[in-house]
Amino acid sequence: PYGRLSGFARVNRAITDGLTRRGWTVRVFATDEPTTRVPREPLPDVYLFHGHPYDLTNAPGRVNVFYLSYDYARFVAADRWLSSRLNAHFDLLMVPSTFSRSAARRSGVRIPIVVCPYGADAQEFHLPDTARASGQPFTFLALGGATERKGTDVAVRAFAREFRGDPRVRLHIKAFSYDHLL
> How do the pLDDT tens digits run along the chain, 182 residues long?
777 777 778 888 888 898 899 999 998 877 766 655 556 778 888 888 887 766 677 778 889 999 887 766 677 776 778 888 899 889 999 988 888 898 899 889 999 999 887 665 556 655 556 665 667 778 777 766 666 656 777 788 888 888 887 888 888 877 666 566 55
* Whole-number pLDDT of residue 122: 59
List, in sequence order, the alpha helices (H) in 39-120.
Answer: 81-89, 98-106
* Whole-number pLDDT of residue 145: 63
* Whole-number pLDDT of residue 116: 82
pTM: 0.66
Is the backbone of residue 160 left (phi > 0), alpha (psi -120 to 50) or beta? alpha
For residue 80, CA distances in Å to 74, 104, 163, 169 come to 9, 11, 36, 39
